[in-house]
Amino acid sequence: MSEEKLFETLDPEDWDSMRSLAHKMVDDSIDYLKTVSNRPVWQQVPESVRETFQSSVPVEPQQPDEIYADFMTNIFPYPMGNTHPRFWSWYMGNGTVMGALAELLSATMNSNMGGGNHAAILIEEQVLNWIKQVVEFPSEASGLLVGGGSMANLVGLTIARNNQAGIDVRKKGVQSIDEKLTIYASREVHSSNQKAVELLGLGSDSLRKIKVNPDYTINLDELESTIKQDIDSGYKPICIIATSGTVNTGAIDDLNAIADLCSKYQLWFHVDGVIGAIAMLSDTVKPLLSGIERSDSIALDLHKWMHVPFEAGCVLVRDEKIHRDSFSLIPEYLTKATRGLAAGSNWFSEYGVELSRSFRALKIWMTMKEHGTKKLGRMISRNVDQARYLGTLIETCEQLELIAPIGLDIVCYRFNPGKLSLQALNQLNQEILFELQEQGIAAPSYSTLNEQYCIRVAIANHRSRYEDFDLLIRETLRIGKALYQARVINS
């Protein structure tokens, strides 16, 4: 038997057939995005489809066209729905066509972003330089692209702990810290920050959650008094986490005031800007983010309001040396060279947890080049205007009410026909939300503010039109009245 027949590879046996299938995949993907508004926002995966995912591990090869047919039948019709113009759940962007195609190119190159001398490293460097320009960070600052805001916050807070602890934490560990370290944030801070504090060995008790004002921004008086009390009690404050866009309401903490406090008490200033930091692109929002440029570290999510396909998080750090000192570890097999593949001064493995990382920079690079920052900023500004528009629709409707001030692009409201207890009203609005989702009409999410369950509309969506919010209000009223009437009849 010849060597050619003995040789096995994972490349296609028939390149022409694979090319044809690839063209079909691209055509189907473009059609899918072009017609997304014609489909339900979300639909439940049927039990019959769920059962197809219970089969045993495939031992023998399957034909590529059969695998793709399985995808088209059992996976593609049942997405989360965040590409749809009426998806407003949690806080997610829509993605872009160019971004999706960039994922194909990135996977084709299959570059590892830990380090080395290749073009992908240069692209990540350029993207980070662009983001630094957007948030007005110094050019000599450092950064890293990560999976999302949770990892970005972990990186930022790791640097804060290591820099502020007063000992070499990497060598001696947190158990060698004599003083109890404390970190401060509002009660509205995202849970990823608490997870980070726990992972850093500080314990959730060390995260002081400060009360908020009526607009859900951090109360500065309580913040400073808590810092003073901790100092008097023998604790060591090390960091304040400011939020530029809280997850519940989109509130933006007073960044300049927090920067002043950090300067006064020599604390690390970290901004959880996962929701709002990229809104520095918007002429409407940028003034509200004044002070973000004074921070020591910023966490951003470019897969949210900049619509890069998942995953695309980012952390920026003002002091490059402090950043590198928190993560750099260079064993012999990662030693940099002056020539060849291992050349290059910037190895991103020195700035974060991961050595192996995907080439996520390409989809960011292509998205920013295709649209430009001015257009991306206009999309953000339009969402802010749409949130105000929705708020006006709610305020002019007798049976609807706003539950919180509108921060950035997040609207919290409820249907209230009157004469219901708080518990009954909460249950009614929860059922309205379920019906909106299950009927495929729209996909807002929910929150509970001051014990009031509300429908939460996070408008980070470049496909949303003003008429989509007219429809949301009509359907909320239709569903709410029907549920309320059924309740009255059955009571």
Q: Give the pLDDT confidence score for residue 6 in this predicted structure.
A: 75
Shared domain for 291 and 180, answered yes or no, is: yes
**Residue 450 pLDDT greater than 60, yes or no:** yes
Which of 328, 359, 390 marks a domain boundary? 359
Which of 359, 384, 415 marks a domain boundary? 359
Could you tell me the pLDDT band of residue 344, with boundaries at 50, 70 and 90?
confident
**Residue 427 pLDDT greater than 60, yes or no:** yes
Q: Is residue 296 part of a domain?
A: yes
What the block records as the tokens of 449 is 């503010």
Could you tell me the pLDDT band of residue 79, with boundaries at 50, 70 and 90?
very high
**Residue 2 pLDDT greater than 70, yes or no:** no
Kindly report the number of other CB atoms within 10 A of residue 16's CB atom. 8
Please tell me the distance from the alpha carbon of residue 361 to that of residue 121, in angstroms, as a whole number: 9
Shared domain for 280 and 174, answered yes or no, is: yes
Shared domain for 115 and 52, answered yes or no, is: no
CA atoms within 13 A of residue 236's CA, in its CB half-sphere: 15
Q: Is residue 5 part of a domain?
A: no
Please tell me the distance from the alpha carbon of residue 146 to that of residue 323, in angstroms, as a whole number: 14
Shared domain for 140 and 270, answered yes or no, is: yes
**Residue 489 pLDDT greater than 80, yes or no:** no
In this structure, are strands 313-317 and 297-301 parallel, antiparallel, or unpaired? antiparallel
Q: Give the pLDDT confidence score for residue 345 in this predicted structure.
A: 81
Q: Give the pLDDT confidence score for residue 225 in this predicted structure.
A: 98
Shared domain for 396 and 349, answered yes or no, is: no
**Residue 488 pLDDT greater than 70, yes or no:** no
Q: Is residue 99 part of a domain?
A: no
CA distances (Å), 231 to each of 21, 235, 239, 408, in order?
Answer: 65, 5, 13, 35
CA 161, 209, 206, 265: dihedral to nearest 10 degrees?
A: 50
pLDDT over 90 percentage in the chain: 95
**Residue 7 pLDDT greater than 90, yes or no:** no
What is the average pLDDT value for the chain, to the nearest integer?
A: 96
Shared domain for 348 and 380, answered yes or no, is: no
Shared domain for 346 and 401, answered yes or no, is: no
Could you tell me the pLDDT band of residue 346, with boundaries at 50, 70 and 90?
confident
Shared domain for 276 and 339, answered yes or no, is: yes
Q: Is residue 6 part of a domain?
A: no
Burial of 219 (0-12, 13-18, 19+ CB in 10 A): middle
Mean pLDDT value across residues 201-212 = 98
Q: What is the CATH number of the domain that holds 447?
A: 3.90.1150.170
Q: How far apart are the first and last CA of the chain?
A: 82
Q: Is residue 74 part of a domain?
A: yes
Q: Give the pLDDT confidence score for residue 305 in this predicted structure.
A: 96
Please tell me the distance from the alpha carbon of residue 178 to that of residue 190, in angstroms, as a whole number: 28
Q: Is residue 188 part of a domain?
A: yes
Q: 127-153, pLDDT tens digit by residue?
A: 999 999 999 999 999 999 999 999 999
Q: Give the pLDDT confidence score for residue 67 in this predicted structure.
A: 97
**Residue 3 pLDDT greater than 90, yes or no:** no
Q: What is the CATH number of the domain that holds 213?
A: 3.40.640.10
Q: Is residue 335 part of a domain?
A: yes
Q: Give the pLDDT confidence score for residue 491 in this predicted structure.
A: 60
Shared domain for 212 and 268, answered yes or no, is: yes
Name the residue with higher pLDDT: 397 or 2: 397
Q: 283-334, pLDDT tens digit by residue?
A: 999 999 999 999 999 999 999 999 999 999 999 999 999 999 999 999 988 8
**Residue 434 pLDDT greater than 70, yes or no:** yes
Q: Which domain holds residue 48?
A: 12-94
Shared domain for 46 and 139, answered yes or no, is: no
Shared domain for 381 and 295, answered yes or no, is: no
Shared domain for 190 and 284, answered yes or no, is: yes
Q: Report whether 409 contacts 386 (CB < 8 A).
A: yes
Which of 46, 66, 94 marks a domain boundary? 94
| Structural domains of the chain, count | 3
Q: Is residue 4 part of a domain?
A: no
Mean pLDDT value across residues 252-268 = 98
Q: What is the CATH number of the domain that holds 23?
A: 1.20.1340
